[in-house]
C-alpha cells in the first residue's frame, strides 16, 4: 500500500487546483507542478478507493507520448525536474515517478475528443439519429466498429462533479476563435492517427481519446497539456480479442464503469468503495497498457 497516493500535500508550494485525478501546485510565475494521484473517477465522480500505482502509470504513459509526438505539437513539459522544485527528499519521495513540472499556459475551455470506433455515447447517438455529435455517418455500422475516418467530436469542460457536454465545431470556434479551432482539430486528428497506428502494432486498439490544449502566453502557440493517450483519457482495447458487434474488454477504467453499472448506485457523490479484486484487476490492466506501449 506504500505505492498509493490519494492526495498530495506540499508545505512550500501553494495548491492551485485539485482535479479529479491531478493535484496542481504553483512553482513560480511561469511553472506549475502536476502530481498525478491514484484517485479514479467514474461517471464524473471521484471514487473513495484509490488504484495503487495508477498515477505513476499515467505519468509514464503521458511522458512517453509527449516525447514521441512532439514533432506534431509542442507540449507542456519544462526543463525543471521534481528535485528542483521539491528539494526535501522525504517530501519528494511519494511524488517520484508521478510528477511533472510544466510551463504555465492558458488552458482552452474545450476537450478535444477523437473517435476512431463507434462505442459509448457515440454508439447511442448513432443508434438514435445516425449521427455522432452532429456528424452524419453511413447506415449499417456495428457496435465497436471502426469508423470510416476518425472523428473530431469536442466537448465543453465541466467542473468536478459536473458532466461535459458535446459541442459542435462552430461552438468550438466561438469559444477559442476559428484559427485555434482549426488548429486544434488538425492536431488532434494527427495525434490520434499516429498514436493509433503505433499502438495497434503493439496489440492495443485506441478506440477514442481526449486531448486538452493551452496557448503559450509568449508565442500564442497551441500546446498539448494535461495528459496524453493514457488509460484514463482513452479507450484501450486488446487487438487480439477485438470483434465488431460486441463491446470489447479494455485496459482502461471502462472495467470499473462496467462493475459500477451492476450496483444500485445513482452515479452521484459519494461513490461506492471498490472491492479488492476490482482494485487489483484494474491496477493490472493499467500496468499491462504501460508495458505494451512502452516495453
The yes-or-no verdict on residue 144 having pLDDT over 90 is yes
Pairing of the two strands 234-238 and 110-117:
unpaired
Give the position of cell 481519446.
Answer: 209
Nearest to 204 by CA among 123, 285, 95: 285
Distance CA 23, CA 29 (A): 17
Identical fold, 15-104 and 107-257: no
Third-level CATH fold of 15-104: Phosphorylase Kinase; domain 1 (3.30.200)
C-alpha cell belonging to residue 239: 487487438
Mean pLDDT across 172-189:
97
Distance CA 139, CA 118 (A): 12
Angle between helices 54-68 and 178-201 (to 10 degrees): 110
- pLDDT category at 92 given cuts 50, 70, 90 is very high
Third-level CATH fold of 107-257: D-amino Acid Aminotransferase; Chain A, domain 1 (3.30.470)
Nearest to 123 by CA among 245, 261, 263, 233: 245
pLDDT digits (tens, 9 = 90+) for 203-236: 999 999 999 999 999 999 999 999 999 999 999 9
Per cent of the chain over pLDDT 70 is 97
Q: Across all residues in the chain, what is the average pLDDT?
A: 94
Mean pLDDT across 57-75:
98
Coil, strand or helix at 195: helix
pLDDT digits (tens, 9 = 90+) for 47-60: 999 999 999 999 99
Domain borders along the chain are 15-104, 107-257
The yes-or-no verdict on residue 1 having pLDDT over 60 is no
The H or E element spanning position 235 is strand 234-238
With b for 16 or more beta-carbon neighbours within 10 A and e for fewer, the 143-175 pattern comes to ebeebeebbbbbbbeeeeeeeeebbebebbbeb
The yes-or-no verdict on residue 137 having pLDDT over 50 is yes
Cβ neighbors of 269 (< 8 A, separation 6 or more) are: 45, 46, 161
Mean pLDDT across 78-85:
98
Q: Quick one: CA torsion of 201, 240, 111, 82, rounded to 10 degrees?
A: -60
Check residue 159 and give its pLDDT. 59
Distance CA 144, CA 117 (A): 6
Amino acid at each position: 500500500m506504500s505505492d498509493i497516493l490519494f492526495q498530495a500535500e506540499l508545505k512550500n508550494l501553494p495548491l492551485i487546483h485539485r482535479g479529479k485525478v491531478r493535484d496542481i501546485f504553483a512553482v513560480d510565475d511561469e511553472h506549475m507542478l502536476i502530481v498525478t494521484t491514484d484517485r479514479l473517477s467514474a461517471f464524473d465522480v471521484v471514487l473513495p478507493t484509490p488504484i495503487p500505482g495508477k498515477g505513476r502509470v499515467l505519468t509514464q504513459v503521458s511522458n512517453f507520448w509527449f516525447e514521441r509526438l512532439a514533432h506534431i505539437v509542442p507540449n507542456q513539459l519544462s526543463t525543471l525536474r521534481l528535485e528542483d522544485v521539491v528539494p526535501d527528499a522525504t517530501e519528494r519521495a511519494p511524488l517520484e515517478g508521478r510528477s511533472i513540472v510544466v510551463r504555465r499556459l492558458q488552458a482552452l475551455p474545450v476537450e478535444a475528443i477523437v473517435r476512431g470506433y463507434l462505442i459509448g455515447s457515440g454508439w447511442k447517438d448513432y443508434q438514435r439519429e445516425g449521427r455522432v455529435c452532429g456528424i452524419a455517418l453511413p447506415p449499417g455500422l456495428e457496435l465497436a466498429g471502426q469508423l470510416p475516418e476518425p472523428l473530431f467530436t469536442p466537448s465543453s469542460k465541466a467542473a468536478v462533479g459536473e458532466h461535459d457536454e458535446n459541442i459542435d465545431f462552430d461552438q468550438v470556434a466561438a469559444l477559442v476563435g476559428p484559427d485555434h479551432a482549426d488548429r486544434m482539430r488538425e492536431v488532434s486528428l494527427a495525434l490520434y492517427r499516429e498514436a493509433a497506428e503505433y499502438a495497434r502494432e503493439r496489440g492495443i486498439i485506441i478506440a477514442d481519446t481526449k486531448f486538452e490544449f493551452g496557448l503559450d502566453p509568449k508565442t500564442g502557440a497551441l500546446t498539448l497539456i494535461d495528459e496524453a493517450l493514457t488509460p484514463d483519457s482513452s479507450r484501450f482495447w486488446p487487438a487480439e480479442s477485438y470483434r465488431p458487434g460486441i463491446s470489447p474488454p479494455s485496459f482502461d477504467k471502462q472495467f470499473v464503469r462496467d462493475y459500477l453499472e451492476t450496483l444500485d448506485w445513482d452515479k452521484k457523490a459519494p461513490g461506492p468503495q471498490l472491492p479488492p479484486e476490482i482494485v487489483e484487476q484494474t491496477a493490472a490492466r493499467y500496468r499491462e497498457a504501460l508495458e505494451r506501449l512502452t516495453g
